[in-house]
Amino acid sequence: MTTDLVTGEDGRARPLWASVDPMLREYYDTEWGMPVRDERGVFERLSLEAFQSGLSWRTILAKRPAFRAAFADFDPDVVAGFGEDDVARLLGDAGIVRNRAKIAATITNAGATIALRADGGLADFVWSFRPADTPRPRTLAEVPTTSPESTALSKALRKRGFAFVGPTTMHALMEALGIVDTHLVGSHRRGTSGVWPD
């Protein structure tokens, strides 16, 4: 058993990052890596991963309710219509990450999400980059931060007008959506998504 896994009082093995903080543990146990296949769900996670760039995921997760309120529950049709007044409102909202470039990217990406509907939609587009196999990391050091598929997805989304979709951010998105399973071997969540049964 790797030391990167901690067995909790409930007898479940989790990685160190999800073993202490109750909010991160709840997210790990119930959300992270479970399949998300609806447009709004994928757009929200794409947006939050972009905001997370350079910050801790815990910071973003704690602010997620405020992000949802600020960005109309990540409804692409509403967000795509945001103008300068909305940008000013968002820059003044202490509940979210006030980064002009990331706010602008979210609005841009909402419009790009709408445009993708003509070709099957954002969710199917992102899921089409699912690899033939998934990593089987035994330690946190073995968890990849990019992949050929996340690099290809990054390039494809950029061509479609998306911003803040680098290969590392797209790999994190693929992990969050369940497209790949990077739960450590031995974790109680390994293989539970139904996408990659062990």
Kind and range of the H or E run holding 43: helix 39-52
Cβ 113 vs Cβ 71: under 8 Å? no
Look up residue 99 and give its DSSP letter: -
Kind and range of the H or E run holding 5: strand 5-7
Torsion, Cα 149 153 159 165, to 10 degrees, reads: -130
Rounded to an integer, what distance in angstroms lies between the CA atom of residue 147 and that of residue 104? 27
Residue 181, both tokens: 């399973």
Q: Is 101 helix (H, G, I), strand (E, B) or coil?
A: helix
Cβ-based neighbour number of residue 10 at 10 Å? 9
Catalogue the active-site residues: 27, 49, 57
